[in-house]
Amino acid sequence: MAATRTAPPVVIGVDSSTQSTKAAVVDLATGSVRAVGRAAHTVTGEDGARESEPEQWWSALRAAVAEALATAAAPPSSVIGIAVAGQQHGLVVLDRSGRPLRPAVLWNDTRSAPQAAGLAVALGGPGQWLARTGSVPVASMTATTWQWLRAHEPSVAESAAAVRLPHDYLTERLCGVAVTDPGDASGTCWYDTANHAYDPEILRLIGLDTALLPTVAASGATPVGTLTPQAAGALGLPSGVAVAAGTGDNMAAAVGLGLGGAGLLDHPVVSLGTSGTVFAATRTRPAAPGLAGFAAADGTHLPLGCTLNCAQAVDRFAGLLGLDREDSVPGDGVVVLPYLDGERTPDLPHATGLVTGLRHTTTPRAILGAAYEGAAFTVLRALDDLLTACGLDPSDPAVRDRPLRLIGGGAQGRAWRETIGRLSGRPLVIPAETELVALGAAALAASAATGEDPVGLAATWGAGRGETLPAVARDEETWHRIDSVLARAAPSLLS
């Protein structure tokens, strides 16, 4: 009788983002992505509001996992681990049965700007927030959203039996355990990144009982349980599949790239998606206004700058102009500050978009190019702030010549690559693997199942390698033109 051939083990990494869920089936031994399933989310709201129904995240997770397994032709018995990486900061409030009391308030909801301003001066001022949490409260941080909920929907806040982040909510649906990780917890502004625990004084300040919060696991790789029978049935998987604590999407992307803070600063990353983010893994704990002092999934630190307006804002300009997103040329004297949803870095929650420098000769393609430039400038200036906070001089040639890793959906676009390259003057590395958040979650799942270090495992998978684009001369003229316009416009944008 012929021996039964056993399917090679795989893990599932889930990327539950603002707009969609993606589930990647990843080969344990090689890290190759065998298939990716996708399911869209619906985001509602206007005038600064951005909300989603948490139940749709669960439905999307189920659909994405089913599609990925079917496409990969992976038998359920071959799956040994699963982990979720989720959009950061979102506020999910649950009743005693674990059902959402209202739609989740998302990270790019800016209605809590007044609460953020109030919190920033509380507790002794911004310096105390930086010392404790690594971040100063801004609209989108979960603590400010919780304060907004208490002010505007007090009955909901009083009825809450549990408070979760998006990835916590999904992890709990998988394994029945209320758990988070230091990386995602560090985006709440109620987690002390120096002492690795919830801050009791901040929780008292915002009227939040620790009993409502999930336990903080030691790291995003910690196995926190296995699939419950209900979750296993919903996903068509064995109930013994290991579930990792998971992490936030930015932390998962760092894991997927194999970044672990080996030195002072490990490979600066620019991510171009709905939002634009810059981050780097480091062993130091930088704390600077305008940056989020996040923890990383491996116990190091992941300082991050985030802009609300990136690829989605530029696509909006393309739509208004009737152009394809790639049909752009440099701005030719036009400046666009594409702050269509307010802005986070810089902290201008009530800002609106600005276009200046138009002439009779200005073309729609140049206006679109200026929108790219404005978004790229905002992201790259946040990168300079990050480098400075880590003790590096952004103008030092030895620092400026270091490559940037360019990830996210925008990294695949010609216009984004050319604009980032031109305004940064740096070489760019475009990783071959595009689903880095899902891949990082898969590395966490593999770690939960095998005990291996997730960052080291992802590094052996090699997802951070890819095409290198040589540096071009930095466009100093465009940089200084945008900087000058922003300096003049900032006071009015604040109102």
- Which residues, 6+ apart, have CB-to-CB distance to 240 below 8 Å? 226, 227
Determine the pLDDT at residue 1.
39
Measured CA to CA in angstroms, residue 450 lies from 79, 161, 222, 253, 415 at distances of 12, 34, 11, 20, 41
Could you give the angle at which helices 476-494 and 364-389 cross, rounded to 10 degrees?
80
Q: What residues are paired with 243 via a beta bridge?
A: 82, 225
pTM exceeds 0.85 for this model: yes
What six digits make up the tokens of 75?
A: 């038998």
Q: What angle do CA 301, 302, 306 make, to 5 degrees?
A: 150
Q: What residues are paired with 304 via a beta bridge?
A: 279, 292
Distance, in Å, from the CA atom of 408 to the CA atom of 257, rounded to the nearest integer, reads 12
Measured CA to CA in angstroms, residue 170 lies from 54, 69, 164, 174 at distances of 9, 19, 9, 6
Our measurement of the distance from residue 427's CA atom to the centroid of its chain's CA atoms, rounded to an integer in Å, reads 23
| Closest residue by Cα to residue 55 from 156, 152, 166, 219 | 166
What six digits make up the tokens of 372?
A: 């790219």
- Which residues, 6+ apart, have CB-to-CB distance to 89 below 8 Å? 106, 107, 140, 141, 142, 145, 165, 187, 188
Longest dimension (CA), the chain: 82
Determine the pLDDT at residue 52.
97
- Those residues of the chain that have pLDDT short of 70 are 1-5, 219-221, 261-266, 491-495
Determine the pLDDT at residue 3.
43
For 469-477, which contacts have Cβ atoms below 8 Å and span 24 or more sequence positions? 469/417, 469/421, 469/427, 469/428, 469/429, 469/430, 470/427, 471/401, 471/421, 471/425, 471/426, 471/427, 472/421, 472/422, 472/425, 473/425, 474/422, 474/423, 474/424, 474/425, 475/330, 475/422, 475/423, 475/425
Q: What residues are paired with 354 via a beta bridge?
A: 337
Distance, in Å, from the CA atom of 119 to the CA atom of 456, rounded to the nearest integer, reads 39
Q: How confident is the model over 264-317, as pLDDT tens digits?
A: 566 789 999 888 999 988 888 887 888 889 999 887 889 998 888 999 999 999
Catalytic residues: 249
What six digits make up the tokens of 197?
A: 């625990």
Q: How confident is the model over 122-173, as pLDDT tens digits?
A: 999 999 999 999 999 988 899 999 999 999 999 999 999 999 999 999 999 9
Could you give the angle at which helices 142-152 and 113-121 cross, rounded to 10 degrees?
110
- Which residues, 6+ apart, have CB-to-CB distance to 83 below 8 Å? 11, 12, 13, 14, 171, 220, 243, 244, 245, 246, 247, 441, 442, 444, 445, 448
Domains of the chain: 10-250 (3.30.420.40), 259-431+465-495 (3.30.420.40)
Determine the pLDDT at residue 349.
80
Determine the pLDDT at residue 65.
98
Query: What are the b/e assignments for 112-129, b being 16+ CB within 10 Å?
Result: bbebbbebbeebeebeeb
Our measurement of the distance from residue 352's CA atom to the centroid of its chain's CA atoms, rounded to an integer in Å, reads 23
413 phi and psi, to 5 degrees? -95, 140
Distance, in Å, from the CA atom of 453 to the CA atom of 312, rounded to the nearest integer, reads 35
Distance, in Å, from the CA atom of 14 to the CA atom of 57, rounded to the nearest integer, reads 11
Distance, in Å, from the CA atom of 288 to the CA atom of 278, rounded to the nearest integer, reads 14
Omega prior to 346 cis, within 30 of 0:
yes
315 phi and psi, to 5 degrees? -60, -35
